[in-house]
Homo-oligomer: A and B are copies of this chain.
Amino acid sequence: MSELIVPSLKSWVPVPKDSDFTIYNLPFGIFQNKRLSPRAGIAIGDKIVDLAVLHEEGFFSDMTQLPHGIFQKDSLNDFIGLGKPITKRVREKVQDLLKEENGALRDHQSRGKAIVTRKEAQMLLPVKIGDYTDFYSSMEHATNVGTMFRDPENALLPNWKHLPVGYHGRSSSIIPSGIPIHRPKGQYKDPNMDTPEFGPSRRLDFELEMAFIVGKSTKMGDSVSTEDAEDYIFGMVLFNDWSARDIQAWEYVPLGPFLGKSFASSISPWIVTLEALEPFRVPGPKQEPEVLPYLQYQKDHAFDINLEVYIQPDGLKSTKVCTSNFKYMYWNIAQQLAHHTVNGCNINVGDMMASGTISGPTSESFGSMLELAWKGTKPVQLEEGGERKFIEDGDTVIMKGYCEKAGIRVGFGEVESKVMPGK
Protein backbone atom coordinates (compact mmCIF):
# COMPACT_ATOMS: atom_id res chain seq x y z
CA MET A 1 0.00 0.00 0.00
CA SER A 2 3.19 2.12 0.00
CA GLU A 3 2.41 5.39 1.79
CA LEU A 4 -1.23 5.52 0.88
CA ILE A 5 -3.64 4.76 3.63
CA VAL A 6 -6.61 2.88 2.27
CA PRO A 7 -9.52 2.72 4.68
CA SER A 8 -11.04 -0.69 5.22
CA LEU A 9 -14.29 -0.83 3.29
CA LYS A 10 -17.11 -3.34 3.14
CA SER A 11 -20.14 -3.38 0.89
CA TRP A 12 -23.71 -4.49 1.47
CA VAL A 13 -23.47 -6.15 -1.97
CA PRO A 14 -21.87 -9.55 -1.27
CA VAL A 15 -18.40 -9.76 -2.80
CA PRO A 16 -17.13 -13.33 -3.13
CA LYS A 17 -13.62 -14.08 -1.88
CA ASP A 18 -11.10 -13.54 -4.71
CA SER A 19 -13.55 -11.38 -6.65
CA ASP A 20 -11.78 -8.86 -8.86
CA PHE A 21 -14.62 -6.43 -8.42
CA THR A 22 -14.32 -5.31 -4.82
CA ILE A 23 -15.55 -2.04 -3.40
CA TYR A 24 -11.97 -0.77 -3.88
CA ASN A 25 -12.17 -1.33 -7.63
CA LEU A 26 -15.48 -0.23 -9.17
CA PRO A 27 -14.56 -0.37 -12.85
CA PHE A 28 -16.74 1.13 -15.58
CA GLY A 29 -18.26 -0.80 -18.48
CA ILE A 30 -21.10 -0.85 -21.01
CA PHE A 31 -23.62 -3.65 -20.69
CA GLN A 32 -27.00 -4.74 -21.95
CA ASN A 33 -29.32 -7.59 -21.10
CA LYS A 34 -32.61 -8.99 -22.35
CA ARG A 35 -34.47 -6.15 -20.71
CA LEU A 36 -32.06 -3.23 -20.91
CA SER A 37 -30.58 -1.31 -23.83
CA PRO A 38 -26.83 -0.55 -23.75
CA ARG A 39 -25.86 1.55 -20.73
CA ALA A 40 -23.01 2.30 -18.36
CA GLY A 41 -22.45 0.26 -15.26
CA ILE A 42 -20.00 -0.29 -12.44
CA ALA A 43 -19.08 -3.86 -11.43
CA ILE A 44 -19.22 -4.98 -7.81
CA GLY A 45 -18.92 -8.68 -6.89
CA ASP A 46 -21.27 -10.62 -9.14
CA LYS A 47 -23.45 -7.57 -9.72
CA ILE A 48 -23.51 -4.45 -11.87
CA VAL A 49 -24.66 -1.08 -10.62
CA ASP A 50 -26.82 0.42 -13.39
CA LEU A 51 -25.62 4.02 -13.52
CA ALA A 52 -28.53 5.08 -15.72
CA VAL A 53 -30.95 4.04 -13.00
CA LEU A 54 -28.94 5.79 -10.27
CA HIS A 55 -28.98 8.95 -12.36
CA GLU A 56 -32.73 8.73 -13.06
CA GLU A 57 -33.45 8.13 -9.41
CA GLY A 58 -31.59 11.28 -8.43
CA PHE A 59 -28.56 9.79 -6.71
CA PHE A 60 -26.30 12.17 -8.64
CA SER A 61 -28.54 15.19 -8.16
CA ASP A 62 -25.70 17.19 -6.60
CA MET A 63 -23.66 16.76 -9.79
CA THR A 64 -25.26 19.18 -12.20
CA GLN A 65 -22.50 18.58 -14.73
CA LEU A 66 -23.94 15.14 -15.56
CA PRO A 67 -26.19 15.61 -18.60
CA HIS A 68 -29.50 13.81 -18.90
CA GLY A 69 -29.01 10.40 -20.54
CA ILE A 70 -25.22 10.43 -20.15
CA PHE A 71 -25.24 6.80 -18.94
CA GLN A 72 -27.76 5.53 -21.49
CA LYS A 73 -25.33 5.27 -24.34
CA ASP A 74 -23.49 2.46 -26.09
CA SER A 75 -20.08 3.85 -25.13
CA LEU A 76 -18.46 5.65 -22.20
CA ASN A 77 -16.83 8.28 -24.43
CA ASP A 78 -19.17 11.15 -23.57
CA PHE A 79 -19.01 10.33 -19.87
CA ILE A 80 -15.23 10.01 -19.84
CA GLY A 81 -15.06 13.24 -21.83
CA LEU A 82 -16.67 15.12 -18.92
CA GLY A 83 -13.25 14.97 -17.28
CA LYS A 84 -11.62 13.31 -14.31
CA PRO A 85 -13.02 15.63 -11.63
CA ILE A 86 -16.47 14.41 -12.62
CA THR A 87 -15.78 10.74 -13.38
CA LYS A 88 -13.88 10.46 -10.08
CA ARG A 89 -16.80 11.94 -8.16
CA VAL A 90 -19.23 9.49 -9.78
CA ARG A 91 -17.03 6.55 -8.75
CA GLU A 92 -16.62 7.93 -5.24
CA LYS A 93 -20.36 8.49 -4.96
CA VAL A 94 -21.05 4.90 -6.00
CA GLN A 95 -18.40 3.66 -3.56
CA ASP A 96 -20.14 5.60 -0.84
CA LEU A 97 -23.57 4.23 -1.81
CA LEU A 98 -22.23 0.69 -1.71
CA LYS A 99 -20.73 0.95 1.78
CA GLU A 100 -22.21 -1.46 4.28
CA GLU A 101 -23.29 1.32 6.58
CA ASN A 102 -24.97 3.44 3.89
CA GLY A 103 -28.68 2.74 3.53
CA ALA A 104 -29.42 5.33 0.82
CA LEU A 105 -29.42 2.82 -2.04
CA ARG A 106 -29.48 -0.37 0.04
CA ASP A 107 -32.86 0.51 1.50
CA HIS A 108 -34.19 2.45 -1.50
CA GLN A 109 -37.17 1.21 -3.47
CA SER A 110 -35.09 1.34 -6.70
CA ARG A 111 -32.43 -1.05 -5.40
CA GLY A 112 -33.85 -4.02 -7.33
CA LYS A 113 -33.72 -2.03 -10.54
CA ALA A 114 -30.31 -0.48 -9.92
CA ILE A 115 -28.47 -3.72 -9.13
CA VAL A 116 -28.23 -6.12 -12.09
CA THR A 117 -26.84 -9.66 -12.15
CA ARG A 118 -23.56 -9.70 -13.98
CA LYS A 119 -23.97 -13.22 -15.36
CA GLU A 120 -27.16 -12.16 -17.17
CA ALA A 121 -25.54 -9.13 -18.76
CA GLN A 122 -23.72 -8.99 -22.06
CA MET A 123 -20.67 -6.79 -21.96
CA LEU A 124 -20.03 -4.55 -24.97
CA LEU A 125 -16.97 -2.57 -25.98
CA PRO A 126 -16.71 0.08 -23.24
CA VAL A 127 -15.52 2.84 -25.58
CA LYS A 128 -15.64 3.82 -29.22
CA ILE A 129 -11.99 3.60 -30.10
CA GLY A 130 -10.84 6.28 -32.53
CA ASP A 131 -7.19 5.36 -32.86
CA TYR A 132 -5.37 2.41 -31.40
CA THR A 133 -1.61 2.33 -30.85
CA ASP A 134 0.45 -0.65 -29.84
CA PHE A 135 3.76 -0.14 -28.07
CA TYR A 136 6.60 -2.62 -27.71
CA SER A 137 7.65 -1.69 -24.22
CA SER A 138 8.76 -4.93 -22.54
CA MET A 139 12.52 -5.29 -22.75
CA GLU A 140 12.28 -9.03 -22.18
CA HIS A 141 9.83 -9.45 -25.08
CA ALA A 142 11.85 -7.27 -27.46
CA THR A 143 15.00 -9.14 -26.45
CA ASN A 144 13.39 -12.55 -26.97
CA VAL A 145 12.08 -11.61 -30.41
CA GLY A 146 15.40 -10.02 -31.39
CA THR A 147 17.25 -13.13 -30.25
CA MET A 148 15.01 -15.47 -32.20
CA PHE A 149 14.77 -13.50 -35.44
CA ARG A 150 17.86 -11.34 -35.61
CA ASP A 151 21.04 -11.49 -33.58
CA PRO A 152 21.28 -12.75 -29.97
CA GLU A 153 24.33 -10.51 -29.47
CA ASN A 154 22.40 -7.41 -30.55
CA ALA A 155 18.87 -8.44 -29.76
CA LEU A 156 17.66 -4.91 -28.96
CA LEU A 157 17.76 -2.49 -31.87
CA PRO A 158 19.70 0.78 -31.33
CA ASN A 159 16.59 2.92 -30.80
CA TRP A 160 14.88 0.64 -28.27
CA LYS A 161 16.24 2.13 -25.03
CA HIS A 162 15.89 5.70 -26.30
CA LEU A 163 12.20 5.75 -27.13
CA PRO A 164 9.10 3.63 -26.57
CA VAL A 165 8.86 1.98 -30.00
CA GLY A 166 5.25 1.77 -31.16
CA TYR A 167 3.05 1.52 -34.22
CA HIS A 168 -0.52 2.29 -35.22
CA GLY A 169 -2.90 -0.66 -35.05
CA ARG A 170 -6.36 -1.39 -36.41
CA SER A 171 -9.28 -0.05 -34.33
CA SER A 172 -12.17 -1.62 -36.21
CA SER A 173 -11.37 -5.18 -35.16
CA ILE A 174 -11.01 -4.58 -31.41
CA ILE A 175 -13.71 -6.69 -29.74
CA PRO A 176 -14.78 -7.39 -26.18
CA SER A 177 -14.14 -10.61 -24.31
CA GLY A 178 -16.42 -13.49 -25.26
CA ILE A 179 -16.56 -12.96 -29.01
CA PRO A 180 -14.92 -15.81 -30.94
CA ILE A 181 -12.36 -14.99 -33.60
CA HIS A 182 -11.75 -16.66 -36.93
CA ARG A 183 -8.32 -17.94 -37.83
CA PRO A 184 -7.06 -15.43 -40.40
CA LYS A 185 -5.99 -16.33 -43.90
CA GLY A 186 -3.08 -14.71 -45.61
CA GLN A 187 0.23 -14.97 -47.38
CA TYR A 188 3.27 -16.56 -45.82
CA LYS A 189 6.62 -17.62 -47.13
CA ASP A 190 8.65 -19.89 -44.93
CA PRO A 191 12.40 -20.00 -45.56
CA ASN A 192 11.98 -23.36 -47.33
CA MET A 193 9.42 -22.02 -49.85
CA ASP A 194 10.40 -20.53 -53.19
CA THR A 195 7.30 -18.39 -53.51
CA PRO A 196 4.68 -17.29 -51.00
CA GLU A 197 1.61 -19.42 -50.37
CA PHE A 198 -1.89 -18.50 -49.28
CA GLY A 199 -4.00 -20.17 -46.62
CA PRO A 200 -5.12 -20.12 -42.99
CA SER A 201 -2.34 -19.01 -40.66
CA ARG A 202 -0.38 -21.96 -39.26
CA ARG A 203 1.09 -19.88 -36.42
CA LEU A 204 -1.73 -18.14 -34.60
CA ASP A 205 -0.56 -16.60 -31.34
CA PHE A 206 -1.78 -14.45 -28.48
CA GLU A 207 0.10 -11.53 -27.00
CA LEU A 208 -0.47 -10.76 -23.33
CA GLU A 209 -0.84 -6.99 -23.12
CA MET A 210 -2.59 -4.25 -21.20
CA ALA A 211 -4.00 -1.08 -22.73
CA PHE A 212 -4.88 2.33 -21.37
CA ILE A 213 -7.79 4.42 -22.50
CA VAL A 214 -7.33 8.09 -23.23
CA GLY A 215 -9.57 10.22 -21.03
CA LYS A 216 -8.85 13.72 -22.28
CA SER A 217 -8.32 15.05 -25.79
CA THR A 218 -5.55 17.30 -27.04
CA LYS A 219 -5.37 19.68 -29.99
CA MET A 220 -3.06 19.09 -32.95
CA GLY A 221 0.33 20.61 -32.26
CA ASP A 222 0.07 20.19 -28.47
CA SER A 223 2.17 17.82 -26.37
CA VAL A 224 1.60 16.26 -22.95
CA SER A 225 4.46 16.02 -20.44
CA THR A 226 5.19 12.85 -18.44
CA GLU A 227 4.12 14.82 -15.37
CA ASP A 228 0.67 15.58 -16.79
CA ALA A 229 0.24 12.32 -18.71
CA GLU A 230 -1.90 10.50 -16.17
CA ASP A 231 -4.47 13.31 -16.31
CA TYR A 232 -5.06 12.12 -19.87
CA ILE A 233 -5.50 8.44 -18.94
CA PHE A 234 -8.89 7.23 -17.73
CA GLY A 235 -8.08 3.62 -16.95
CA MET A 236 -6.85 0.27 -18.17
CA VAL A 237 -7.99 -3.06 -19.60
CA LEU A 238 -6.44 -6.44 -20.47
CA PHE A 239 -5.56 -6.70 -24.13
CA ASN A 240 -4.98 -9.79 -26.27
CA ASP A 241 -3.14 -8.67 -29.38
CA TRP A 242 -3.85 -11.68 -31.60
CA SER A 243 -0.99 -12.30 -34.00
CA ALA A 244 -0.51 -14.53 -37.04
CA ARG A 245 3.24 -15.06 -36.88
CA ASP A 246 3.66 -16.50 -40.38
CA ILE A 247 1.69 -13.69 -42.06
CA GLN A 248 3.51 -11.09 -39.94
CA ALA A 249 6.99 -12.46 -40.71
CA TRP A 250 6.46 -12.18 -44.47
CA GLU A 251 4.66 -8.84 -44.65
CA TYR A 252 6.30 -6.69 -41.99
CA VAL A 253 9.38 -5.31 -43.75
CA PRO A 254 9.81 -2.40 -43.98
CA LEU A 255 6.56 -0.84 -42.68
CA GLY A 256 5.66 -3.01 -39.71
CA PRO A 257 2.84 -5.38 -38.71
CA PHE A 258 -0.37 -5.17 -40.75
CA LEU A 259 -2.59 -8.15 -41.64
CA GLY A 260 -0.76 -10.34 -39.15
CA LYS A 261 -2.48 -8.30 -36.44
CA SER A 262 -5.49 -6.50 -37.92
CA PHE A 263 -7.89 -9.46 -37.97
CA ALA A 264 -8.74 -9.13 -34.25
CA SER A 265 -7.70 -7.81 -30.84
CA SER A 266 -9.69 -8.72 -27.72
CA ILE A 267 -10.09 -6.64 -24.56
CA SER A 268 -11.54 -7.15 -21.11
CA PRO A 269 -14.77 -5.15 -20.90
CA TRP A 270 -14.32 -3.41 -17.52
CA ILE A 271 -12.14 -0.31 -17.43
CA VAL A 272 -10.26 -0.20 -14.14
CA THR A 273 -9.59 3.46 -13.32
CA LEU A 274 -6.18 4.84 -12.43
CA GLU A 275 -7.71 5.84 -9.08
CA ALA A 276 -8.39 2.17 -8.30
CA LEU A 277 -4.83 1.27 -9.28
CA GLU A 278 -3.31 4.00 -7.12
CA PRO A 279 -2.40 1.70 -4.15
CA PHE A 280 -0.45 -0.59 -6.46
CA ARG A 281 2.03 1.91 -7.86
CA VAL A 282 5.63 0.69 -7.88
CA PRO A 283 8.90 2.03 -9.25
CA GLY A 284 9.66 0.91 -12.80
CA PRO A 285 12.94 -0.61 -13.97
CA LYS A 286 15.96 1.67 -13.98
CA GLN A 287 16.42 3.15 -17.44
CA GLU A 288 19.99 3.08 -18.62
CA PRO A 289 21.20 4.99 -20.65
CA GLU A 290 19.41 8.05 -19.34
CA VAL A 291 16.47 9.02 -21.53
CA LEU A 292 15.98 12.42 -23.18
CA PRO A 293 14.42 15.09 -20.93
CA TYR A 294 10.91 14.81 -22.41
CA LEU A 295 10.83 11.14 -21.34
CA GLN A 296 12.16 11.64 -17.82
CA TYR A 297 9.67 11.37 -14.96
CA GLN A 298 9.39 11.95 -11.23
CA LYS A 299 6.74 9.83 -9.63
CA ASP A 300 6.20 6.06 -9.98
CA HIS A 301 4.18 5.22 -13.07
CA ALA A 302 4.51 1.44 -12.96
CA PHE A 303 1.80 -0.76 -11.44
CA ASP A 304 2.07 -4.14 -9.77
CA ILE A 305 -0.54 -6.11 -11.71
CA ASN A 306 -0.34 -9.92 -11.74
CA LEU A 307 -1.09 -11.34 -15.17
CA GLU A 308 -1.95 -14.88 -16.22
CA VAL A 309 -2.73 -16.62 -19.48
CA TYR A 310 -4.67 -19.88 -19.78
CA ILE A 311 -5.32 -22.11 -22.77
CA GLN A 312 -8.49 -24.17 -22.75
CA PRO A 313 -8.88 -26.76 -25.51
CA ASP A 314 -12.44 -27.31 -26.67
CA GLY A 315 -14.43 -28.98 -23.87
CA LEU A 316 -11.34 -29.68 -21.75
CA LYS A 317 -9.68 -28.28 -18.67
CA SER A 318 -7.66 -25.09 -18.98
CA THR A 319 -3.94 -24.86 -18.29
CA LYS A 320 -2.13 -21.79 -17.03
CA VAL A 321 0.70 -21.22 -19.52
CA CYS A 322 2.03 -17.83 -18.43
CA THR A 323 2.44 -15.85 -15.20
CA SER A 324 3.71 -12.32 -15.77
CA ASN A 325 3.35 -8.83 -14.28
CA PHE A 326 2.69 -5.39 -15.71
CA LYS A 327 5.47 -3.95 -13.52
CA TYR A 328 8.09 -5.54 -15.80
CA MET A 329 7.47 -2.92 -18.50
CA TYR A 330 10.57 -0.91 -19.28
CA TRP A 331 8.58 2.06 -20.58
CA ASN A 332 5.64 3.27 -18.47
CA ILE A 333 2.28 4.68 -19.53
CA ALA A 334 3.29 8.29 -18.81
CA GLN A 335 6.32 7.96 -21.06
CA GLN A 336 4.26 6.29 -23.77
CA LEU A 337 1.72 9.11 -23.79
CA ALA A 338 4.37 11.84 -23.65
CA HIS A 339 6.22 10.24 -26.55
CA HIS A 340 3.03 9.77 -28.57
CA THR A 341 2.16 13.47 -28.35
CA VAL A 342 5.63 15.00 -28.47
CA ASN A 343 5.31 15.50 -32.24
CA GLY A 344 1.99 17.29 -31.83
CA CYS A 345 -0.16 14.25 -32.71
CA ASN A 346 -3.60 14.89 -31.23
CA ILE A 347 -5.29 12.27 -29.07
CA ASN A 348 -9.00 11.77 -28.46
CA VAL A 349 -11.10 10.41 -25.62
CA GLY A 350 -11.49 6.68 -26.22
CA ASP A 351 -8.17 6.18 -27.99
CA MET A 352 -6.48 3.02 -26.84
CA MET A 353 -2.76 2.53 -26.29
CA ALA A 354 -1.53 -0.98 -25.65
CA SER A 355 1.68 -1.93 -23.92
CA GLY A 356 3.08 -4.53 -26.24
CA THR A 357 3.61 -8.10 -25.08
CA ILE A 358 4.37 -8.19 -21.36
CA SER A 359 7.12 -10.74 -20.88
CA GLY A 360 8.98 -11.13 -17.61
CA PRO A 361 12.49 -12.32 -16.89
CA THR A 362 11.75 -16.05 -16.54
CA SER A 363 10.60 -18.47 -19.22
CA GLU A 364 7.16 -19.04 -17.60
CA SER A 365 6.56 -15.30 -17.66
CA PHE A 366 6.83 -14.93 -21.44
CA GLY A 367 3.69 -13.34 -22.87
CA SER A 368 3.24 -15.16 -26.19
CA MET A 369 3.38 -18.70 -27.54
CA LEU A 370 6.20 -17.59 -29.82
CA GLU A 371 8.35 -17.08 -26.73
CA LEU A 372 6.84 -19.76 -24.44
CA ALA A 373 7.40 -22.49 -27.04
CA TRP A 374 10.51 -20.67 -28.29
CA LYS A 375 9.63 -20.52 -31.99
CA GLY A 376 8.11 -24.00 -31.87
CA THR A 377 11.21 -25.71 -30.47
CA LYS A 378 9.83 -26.24 -26.93
CA PRO A 379 6.15 -27.14 -27.15
CA VAL A 380 4.04 -26.18 -24.15
CA GLN A 381 2.46 -29.17 -22.37
CA LEU A 382 -1.22 -28.74 -21.48
CA GLU A 383 -2.82 -30.63 -18.59
CA GLU A 384 -5.48 -31.80 -21.04
CA GLY A 385 -5.41 -31.64 -24.83
CA GLY A 386 -1.80 -32.40 -25.70
CA GLU A 387 0.90 -29.86 -26.38
CA ARG A 388 0.93 -26.52 -28.19
CA LYS A 389 3.44 -24.65 -30.32
CA PHE A 390 0.79 -22.14 -31.31
CA ILE A 391 -2.98 -21.80 -30.79
CA GLU A 392 -5.25 -24.39 -32.41
CA ASP A 393 -8.85 -24.15 -33.65
CA GLY A 394 -11.23 -24.74 -30.76
CA ASP A 395 -8.80 -23.38 -28.16
CA THR A 396 -9.97 -20.60 -25.87
CA VAL A 397 -7.32 -18.17 -24.67
CA ILE A 398 -8.07 -16.56 -21.32
CA MET A 399 -6.11 -13.68 -19.80
CA LYS A 400 -6.56 -12.53 -16.22
CA GLY A 401 -5.09 -9.66 -14.26
CA TYR A 402 -5.31 -8.48 -10.67
CA CYS A 403 -3.57 -6.41 -8.03
CA GLU A 404 -3.43 -7.65 -4.45
CA LYS A 405 -1.87 -6.09 -1.40
CA ALA A 406 -2.65 -6.04 2.32
CA GLY A 407 -5.85 -7.96 1.75
CA ILE A 408 -7.13 -5.57 -0.90
CA ARG A 409 -7.82 -6.89 -4.38
CA VAL A 410 -8.46 -4.88 -7.52
CA GLY A 411 -8.78 -6.97 -10.67
CA PHE A 412 -9.57 -6.75 -14.34
CA GLY A 413 -11.72 -9.85 -14.70
CA GLU A 414 -10.72 -11.58 -17.85
CA VAL A 415 -10.54 -11.44 -21.61
CA GLU A 416 -11.36 -14.77 -23.18
CA SER A 417 -11.82 -15.60 -26.84
CA LYS A 418 -12.26 -18.86 -28.67
CA VAL A 419 -10.55 -19.53 -31.97
CA MET A 420 -12.78 -20.77 -34.78
CA PRO A 421 -11.54 -22.11 -38.12
CA GLY A 422 -11.04 -19.55 -40.90
CA LYS A 423 -14.26 -18.54 -42.69
Q: Which residues of A contact B (CB under 8 A)?
A: 130-131, 136, 157-159, 162-163, 165-173, 175, 181-182, 184-187, 189, 195-198, 220-223, 244, 247, 250-260, 262-264, 289, 292-294, 339-340, 342-348, 351, 422-423
**With A262-B168, A262-B343, A263-B344 in contact, is A253–B221 under 8 Å at CB?**
no
Contact partners of A422 in chain B: CB under 8 A: 344
Contact partners of A294 in chain B: CB under 8 A: 198
**With A171-B130, A220-B175, A423-B222 in contact, is A345–B259 under 8 Å at CB?**
yes
Residue of B nearest to A256 (CB): B256
**With A220-B264, A251-B163, A351-B172 in contact, is A256–B257 under 8 Å at CB?**
yes
With A168-B169, A220-B263, A223-B423 given, can you name 15 additional A-B contacts, CB distance below 8 Å?
A162-B189, A163-B187, A163-B196, A163-B251, A166-B255, A166-B258, A172-B346, A172-B347, A175-B220, A197-B292, A256-B256, A259-B345, A262-B343, A263-B343, A344-B423
A-B contact pairs, 13 of them (CB 8 A): A131-B171, A157-B253, A157-B254, A159-B251, A162-B189, A163-B196, A168-B258, A182-B220, A184-B344, A252-B255, A255-B257, A262-B345, A263-B344
The secondary structure that dominates the A interface is loop
Report whether A244 and B351 are in contact in the complex, using a CB–CB cutoff of 8 Å. Answer: no
Q: In the assembly, what is the distance between CA of A253 and CA of B347, in Å?
A: 23
**With A162-B196, A253-B159 in contact, is A345–B263 under 8 Å at CB?**
yes
Q: In the assembly, what is the distance between CA of A345 and CA of B222, in Å?
A: 32
Q: In the assembly, what is the distance between CA of A233 and CA of B358, in Å?
A: 38
Report whether A343 and B157 are in contact in the complex, using a CB–CB cutoff of 8 Å. Answer: no
Whole-angstrom distance from the CB of A13 to the nearest CB of chain B? 35
**With A170-B131, A172-B130, A423-B221 in contact, is A255–B165 under 8 Å at CB?**
yes
**With A172-B351, A185-B344, A347-B172 in contact, is A136–B255 under 8 Å at CB?**
yes
Report whether A170 and B258 are in contact in the complex, using a CB–CB cutoff of 8 Å. Answer: no
With a 10 A CB-CB cut-off, give which of A173, A220, A258, A289 has the most chain B CB atoms: A258
Report whether A220 and B258 are in contact in the complex, using a CB–CB cutoff of 8 Å. Answer: no
Q: In the assembly, what is the distance between CA of A252 and CA of B160, in Å?
A: 10
Residue of B nearest to A344 (CB): B263
From the candidates B130, B260, B262, B343, name the one contacting A244 in the complex (CB within 8 A). Answer: B343
Report whether B222 and A165 are in contact in the complex, using a CB–CB cutoff of 8 Å. Answer: no
**With A186-B343, A262-B345, A263-B345 in contact, is A167–B351 under 8 Å at CB?**
no
Q: In the assembly, what is the distance between CA of A422 and CA of B195, in Å?
A: 47
Whole-angstrom distance from the CB of A290 to the nearest CB of chain B? 9
Residue of B nearest to A218 (CB): B172
Q: In the assembly, what is the distance between CA of A259 and CA of B159, in Å?
A: 14
Whole-angstrom distance from the CB of A244 to the nearest CB of chain B? 7
Identify the 9 closest CB pairs spanning chains A and B, nearest first: A256-B256, A184-B343, A168-B168, A167-B255, A182-B221, A262-B345, A255-B256, A259-B343, A263-B343
Contact partners of A339 in chain B: CB under 8 A: 259
